[in-house]
């Protein structure tokens, strides 16, 4: 909701395509689930496109420069990621949805809402900035317990990046502790958003197959998949 | 112009004036963690098209203000360490769409706001801005972006103490741009808008659209419109008078 107006979904805006987004903490298993969903749709010969978060080189340069030099404030962090999203939205997502694809997004605007709000940006400001983007037709939220998610990410003791660990928030001088607190706050934001934005909440503590069965059922119920058949190529003479 | 031709600057130490403070505010939600009551100094914005005389006027104002004992700092668009290079590349290639461009500029603005403007004001300096959010908003409005969206986006900006808009007719701007650069600029001619394939024609149309948008914004943002057709001296005298009243807390 922005300024008392519901942002519309792609279907409500008359796009032929449909956008399905997955959200959840790192380590919630959402990427596995969206991959399996993609395979299922592809194997039915449907027009499906998986949108990875490949930034344009231009925006990538600025973002990595800012991150490397720790130059970013909450507002500039938010804006540079919004720029990146806008680029991807206008050049990739909108054309695909106009062309009638089922577009699968690993993370959408809700990632920004959660992350930027935790960093201290006013929620209304962040939501206002992203309101050029339509709402997904379906949003799956993979709700795993904080401990499970943290364990999956941290078990290999990966090198956590400064912003990724939320070190700019000065929650702790230990990157791992900082990451834990940061992820915990993001989870709270997700839970608060889940009713506001009608997330389809999936219990991510279940087996992979059990989750995927629910996801496929919901997609089949809410999207008329027959409409998205790939056109058979015209046979060569 | 030689130094001696210019109007004199104040150098008498007894006449140094300490600026009177006025309550400050942000246009909207502001910057997280920034206490607006800690911001002193004065923020003076000069707006206007390329060729309207902005940089000449700012250079002279800096000289005058420093002569009067005020510390100054200057900001302008596309000067942030964060994204200015990338913005140049983007402009050269015309590869970003309008929302992306708009947010890229907003990032550049936010970076300078937090790293130059706000620290300058906190230190009690005179911050002279060679254009501000209004130019950015006008460019986006001409390209069809939504006013409510822009107002929210630029709600991070602090309200200036004075905004001067140097108003120069498009026909005059063309001549000044030819005299200075021997050519018209792609973006200042609004060539991305497809108003005309003829650059001269597009420049006139685009600059007229920009002027109309500025006048519309004036109602909301209360700029002082300064007649930019006069000599640089005449304009500078008017700006000094107006800034003197700003310094007096009026």
Q: Which of A116, A117, A148 is nearest to A25 (CA)?
A: A148
Domain boundaries, chain A: 18-224
Mean residue pLDDT of chain A comes to: 90
Q: What is the pLDDT of residues B162-211, one digit of tens each?
A: 999 999 999 899 889 888 888 888 888 998 888 999 999 999 999 999 99
pLDDT per position as a tens digit, B120-160: 999 999 999 999 999 999 999 999 999 999 999 999 999 99
Contacts of A121 in chain B (CB under 8 A): 32
Spatial separation of the C-alpha atoms in residues B231 and A93, rounded to whole Å:
51
Structure confidence by residue, pLDDT tens digits, B35-71? 999 999 999 999 998 899 999 999 999 999 999 999 9
Q: pLDDT band for position A68 (50/70/90)?
A: low
Which pLDDT belongs to residue A158?
Answer: 80
Which secondary structure element, helix H or strand E, spans residue B121, and what is its range?
helix B118-122
pLDDT above 90 coverage of chain B, percent: 67
Q: How confident is the model at residue B11 (pLDDT cuts 50, 70, 90)?
A: low
- Answer yes or no: is pLDDT of A55 > 70: no
Facing residue for A120 by CB, picked from B32, B146, B156: B32
More confident residue, A71 or A42: A42
The reply to whether residue B28 touches residue A125, judged by beta carbons under 8 angstroms, is yes
| CB atoms A72 and B82 under 8 Å | yes
Q: Which residue of A has its CA nearest to B91?
A: A58
* Disruptive mutation site among B80, B85, B110, B116 for chain A (greatest number of A CBs within 10 Å): B110
How confident is the prediction for chain B on average, in pLDDT? 90
Residue by residue, DSSP assigns B63-108 as HHHHHTT--EEEEETT--TTTHHHHHHHHHHT-S-HHHHHHHHHHH
Which comes out higher in pLDDT, residue B206 or A159? B206
Averaged over A97-113, what is the pLDDT? Answer: 95
B42-47: strand order across its sheet: B72-76, B126-130, B42-47, B162-167, B224-227
Q: In the CATH scheme, what is the homologous superfamily, with its name and number, of domain B24-247?
A: P-loop containing nucleotide triphosphate hydrolases (3.40.50.300)
Length of chain A as a residue count: 237
- Start-to-end Cα distance in chain A: 54
Going from N- to C-terminal start, the domains of chain B cover 24-247
Q: How many CB pairs under 8 A join A and B?
A: 96
Hey, are the CB atoms on A122 and B152 less than 8 Å from each other? no
With contacts defined as CB-CB under 8 Å, which chain A residues touch B152? 124-125, 128-129
Q: In terms of CATH architecture, what is A18-224?
A: 3-Layer(aba) Sandwich (3.40)
Confidence label for A99 from pLDDT (cuts 50, 70 and 90): very high
Interface contact B104, partner A, CB < 8 A:
yes
B147 near A CB under 8 A: no
Among residues of chain A, what percentage have pLDDT more than 70?
A: 91
Euclidean distance between CA atoms A50 and A38, whole angstroms? 7
Q: Answer whether A120 sits within 8 Å of B155, measured CB to CB.
A: no
């Amino acid at each position: 909701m922005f300024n008392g107006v519901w942002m519309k979904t792609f279907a409500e805006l008359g796009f032929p395509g449909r956008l399905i987004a997955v959200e959840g903490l790192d380590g919630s298993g959402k990427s596995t689930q969206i991959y399996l969903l993609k395979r299922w749709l592809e194997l039915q010969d449907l027009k499906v496109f998986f949108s990875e978060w490949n930034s344009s080189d231009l925006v990538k340069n600025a973002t990595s420069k800012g991150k490397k030099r720790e130059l970013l404030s909450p507002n500039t962090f938010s804006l540079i990621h919004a720029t990146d999203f806008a680029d991807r939205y206008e050049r990739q997502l909108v054309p695909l949805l106009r062309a009638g694809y089922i577009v699968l997004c690993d993370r959408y605007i809700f990632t920004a809402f959660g992350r930027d709000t935790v960093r201290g940006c006013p929620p209304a400001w962040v939501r206002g900035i992203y309101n050029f983007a339509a709402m997904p037709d379906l949003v799956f939220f993979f709700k795993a317990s904080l401990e499970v998610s943290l364990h999956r990410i941290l078990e290999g003791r990966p090198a956590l990046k400064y912003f990724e660990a939320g070190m700019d928030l000065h929650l702790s001088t230990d990157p791992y502790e900082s990451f834990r607190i940061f992820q915990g706050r993001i989870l709270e934001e997700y839970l608060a958003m889940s009713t506001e934005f009608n997330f389809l909440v999936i219990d991510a503590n279940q087996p992979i197959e059990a989750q995927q069965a629910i996801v496929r059922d919901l997609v089949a119920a809410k999207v008329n998949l027959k409409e998205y058949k790939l056109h058979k190529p015209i046979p060569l003479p | 112009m030689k130094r001696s031709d210019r109007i004199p600057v104040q150098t008498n130490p007894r006449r140094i004036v300490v600026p009177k403070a006025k309550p400050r505010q942000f246009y909207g939600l502001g910057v997280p963690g920034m206490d607006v009551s800690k911001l002193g100094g004065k923020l003076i914005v000069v707006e206007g098209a390329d060729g309207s005389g902005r940089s000449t006027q700012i250079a002279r104002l800096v000289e005058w203000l420093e002569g009067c004992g005020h510390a100054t700092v200057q900001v302008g668009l596309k000067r942030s360490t964060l994204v200015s290079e990338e913005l140049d590349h983007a402009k050269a290639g015309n590869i970003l769409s309008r929302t992306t461009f708009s947010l890229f500029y907003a990032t550049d603005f936010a970076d300078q706001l937090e790293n130059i403007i706000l620290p300058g004001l906190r230190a009690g300096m005179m911050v002279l801005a060679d254009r501000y959010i209004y130019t950015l908003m006008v460019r986006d409005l001409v390209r069809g972006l939504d006013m409510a969206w822009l107002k929210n986006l630029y709600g991070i900006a602090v309200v200036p103490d004075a905004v001067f808009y140097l108003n120069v007719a498009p026909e005059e701007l063309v001549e000044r741009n030819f005299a200075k650069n021997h050519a018209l600029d792609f973006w200042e001619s609004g060539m991305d808008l497809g108003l005309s394939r003829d650059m001269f024609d597009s420049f006139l149309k685009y600059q007229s659209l920009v002027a109309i948008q500025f006048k519309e914004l004036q109602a909301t943002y209360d700029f002082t419109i300064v007649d930019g057709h006069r000599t640089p001296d005449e304009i500078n005298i008017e700006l000094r008078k107006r800034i003197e009243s700003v310094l007096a807390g009026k």
